């Protein structure tokens, strides 16, 4: 008899994937399909939610085929998704009423500026810094700009959800969200984990259109499509999913996922955290009645800087060859890149910052620039960890890493060097999908408890700090001076 498995749907920014995991947490099959990135105007970044749903229906059977399994072998489905991406749809026809506005979209700068007077209150209730990064300003924009949407929402005919809501609704017909995704809407009270009347009033959003907030590991409904009869039993925002996939179950345990951007989350336990150093207090996960909070540092540009070097500058043919080019020189030669392409996120939150390349001399060559590109990811991580340490009072001692950039050994060593902590990569870099599978598997008893999941975590590589403290301090100071030079560049039109 073949071992039954848990399916994870990873609805990401670039693609939608389905991965199948067994009891040991090993991935047995994957299906993947990319979707269109629509940029109809500067600052716009949209997806077609209907296309993403079609892709879900394609990748699930594809993963089953790859693993040689059938729908009967699936015990439950978990979802991890790109966060803060905003979807509105018609309750009756199931059709999206607008393109999904993604987390990368910056059109709501105006809405955010208009609500500056309420920023302190919004932050106090939601925990989130006032920024165009979160969902509520986007929903407000849609209500103001999509003809008939506000009336339909008020009448209960139009629904709102982030991506997991949209998928669960299509899979099961239930209109629900999970507490981690809800915590990123800017509409949820981070202390009560309920929609906040105050925030709904500030953003002027009809309550009828919101989904019900649920925990991360519970049966939301049973699939009527794709995997008929299989329960959808877990959902988490992708970064919280990675926290679970990396088995960061104890306070102080910290992970960083290095993709297009980088997201560092530390488990802060059962008490709602707050940040005075530019981090985002958020829900880590809620399994049963136990809520675990997290502090998050969000870095907008890490892997995308490498892609920029490849695609826009043509300095490297593949992303992996950044390591080859960077290895041609022993150090950065005095050159630093601050990739504030769309402002700086954690811990600075400077929307008016723009990218700078400083320290140029005639000595600087391609190799130095490549090194500066990688080091920018290391230093941005360091800034977030400094803020973590200051906010939590408990220094980060080890960092668990995952994501595509962990293939870069030079970078991982640099991260260990500048953080002065041990950096560990687990076996299987699919922490996001694994976290979604874990949530669903816990809900249906496929895995009994967190200790079993912790035992599934195996170290695949470790990097120990090896940088001279004096050099670390000098370079940290130089980085800080480079960041100073990125501030205030963008001017309002």
Binding region for another protein (CB under 8 A): 24, 26-27, 317-324, 407-409, 427-430, 458-463
User: For residues 265 and 298, what is the distance between their CA atoms, to the nearest angstrom?
Assistant: 9
Nearest to another protein of 1, 466 (CB atom): 466
Nearest to another protein of 40, 362 (CB atom): 40
| DSSP 8-state secondary structure symbol assigned to residue 420 | T
CB of 250 to another protein, least distance (A): 17
Nearest to another protein of 215, 435 (CB atom): 435
Helix (H, G, I), strand (E, B) or coil at 114: helix
The answer to whether the bond into 347 is cis (omega within 30° of 0) is: yes
CB of 53 to another protein, least distance (A): 25
CB of 3 to another protein, least distance (A): 13
Nearest to another protein of 285, 447 (CB atom): 447
CB of 307 to another protein, least distance (A): 13
Nearest to another protein of 154, 422 (CB atom): 422
User: For residues 484 and 357, what is the distance between their CA atoms, to the nearest angstrom?
Assistant: 12
How many other CB atoms sit within 10 Å of the CB of residue 298? 24
Let me know the angle formed at the C-alpha of 440 by 83 and 170, rounded to the nearest 5 degrees: 60
Nearest to another protein of 246, 408 (CB atom): 408
CB of 461 to another protein, least distance (A): 5
Helix (H) or strand (E) holding 80: strand 74-81
Exposure string of 254-272, with b = 16+ CB inside 10 Å and e = fewer, is: bbbbbbbbbbbbbbbeeeb
Which of 413, 481, 460, 443 has the alpha carbon at shortest distance from 285? 443
CB of 12 to another protein, least distance (A): 16
User: For residues 87 and 97, what is the distance between their CA atoms, to the nearest angstrom?
Assistant: 8
End-to-end CA distance of the chain: give it in Å, rounded: 65
């Amino acid at each position: 008899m073949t071992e039954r498995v848990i399916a994870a749907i990873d609805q990401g920014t670039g693609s939608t994937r389905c991965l199948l995991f067994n009891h040991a947490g090993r991935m047995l099959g994957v299906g993947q399909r990319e979707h269109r990135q629509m940029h109809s105007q500067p600052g716009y970044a949209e997806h077609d939610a209907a296309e993403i749903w079609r892709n879900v229906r394609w990748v699930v059977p594809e993963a089953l085929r790859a693993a040689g399994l059938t729908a009967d072998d699936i015990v439950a489905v978990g979802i991890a998704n790109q966060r803060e991406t905003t979807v509105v749809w018609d309750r009756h026809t199931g059709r999206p009423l607008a393109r999904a506005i993604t987390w990368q979209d910056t059109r709501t700068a105006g809405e955010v500026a208009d609500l500056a007077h309420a920023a302190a209150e919004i932050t106090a209730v939601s925990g989130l810094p006032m920024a165009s990064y979160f969902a509520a300003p986007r929903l407000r924009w849609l209500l103001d700009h999509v003809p008939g949407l506000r009336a339909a929402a008020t009448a209960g005919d139009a629904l709102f959800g982030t991506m997991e809501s949209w998928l669960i609704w299509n899979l099961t017909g239930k209109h629900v969200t999970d507490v981690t995704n809800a915590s990123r809407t800017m509409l949820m009270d981070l202390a009560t984990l309920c929609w906040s009347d105050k925030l709904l009033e500030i953003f002027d959003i009809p309550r009828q259109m919101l989904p019900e907030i649920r925990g991360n590991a519970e049966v939301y409904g049973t699939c009527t499509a794709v995997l008929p009869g299989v329960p959808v039993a877990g959902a988490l925002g992708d970064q919280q999913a990675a926290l679970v996939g990396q088995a960061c179950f104890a306070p102080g345990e910290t992970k960083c996922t290095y993709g297009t951007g980088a997201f560092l989350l530390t488990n802060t336990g059962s008490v709602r955290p707050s940040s005075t150093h530019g981090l985002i207090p958020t829900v880590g996960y809620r399994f049963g009645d136990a809520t675990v909070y997290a502090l998050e540092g969000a870095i907008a540009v890490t892997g995308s800087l490498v892609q920029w070097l490849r695609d826009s500058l043509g300095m490297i043919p593949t992303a992996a060859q950044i390591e080859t080019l960077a290895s041609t020189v022993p150090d950065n030669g005095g050159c630093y890149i601050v990739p504030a392409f769309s402002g700086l996120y954690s811990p600075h939150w400077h929307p008016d910052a723009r990218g700078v390349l400083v320290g140029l001399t005639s000595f600087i060559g391609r190799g130095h620039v490549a090194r500066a590109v990688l080091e920018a990811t290391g230093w941005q991580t360091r800034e977030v960890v400094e803020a973590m340490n200051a906010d939590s009072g408990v220094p980060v001692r080890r960092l668990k890493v995952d994501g595509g950039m962990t293939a870069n050994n030079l970078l991982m060593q640099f991260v260990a060097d500048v953080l002065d902590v041990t950096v560990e990569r687990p076996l299987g870099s699919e922490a996001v999908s694994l976290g979604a599978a874990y949530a669903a598997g816990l809900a249906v008893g496929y895995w009994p408890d967190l200790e079993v999941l912790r035992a599934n975590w195996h170290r695949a590589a470790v990097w120990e700090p090896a940088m001279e403290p004096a050099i670390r301090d000098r370079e940290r100071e130089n980085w800080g001076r480079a960041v100073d030079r990125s501030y205030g560049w963008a001017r309002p039109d």
